[in-house]
Amino acid sequence: AQKITQTQPGMFVQEKEAVTLDCTYDTSDPSYGLFWYKQPSSGEMIFLIYQGSYDQQNATEGRYSLNFQKARKSANLVISASQLGDSAMYFCAMREGRSNFNKFYFGSGTKLNVKP
């Protein structure tokens, strides 16, 4: 089974609107971390947000928030008030507990296009 699944290969959003990028994960480890990265066309990987499996609250970083639904094993990224500069590939990723620390699982990515 895929560890990280991103089912939206591409999405469009109107500037200034909010958008949700989907991510589901699969693990039996009670300790894990979920991450979102942004990859603009220039190629670099930029860390956006982190959610730990034991965190009670959903993570937020500026315009980014993570909608963490543990029972559903989903970790959707919400971008509020989209900007043109948000156009990029977005990757969801997971790292499992300390016993499997060397593995970092990435989804296949969602390409977001923000329309003016």
Query: Which residues contact other proteins by CB under 8 A?
Result: 31-33, 35, 37, 43-47, 50, 52, 91, 93, 95-98, 101-104, 106-109
DSSP assignment of 1-65 equals --SEE---SEEEEETTS-EEE--EE----SSEEEEEEEE-TT---EEEEEEETT-SSPPEETTEE
Nearer CB in complex with other proteins: 85/116 = 85
Nearer CB in complex with other proteins: 27/87 = 27
Q: From the CB of 43, what's the least distance to other proteins, in Å?
A: 5
Q: From the CB of 109, what's the least distance to other proteins, in Å?
A: 7
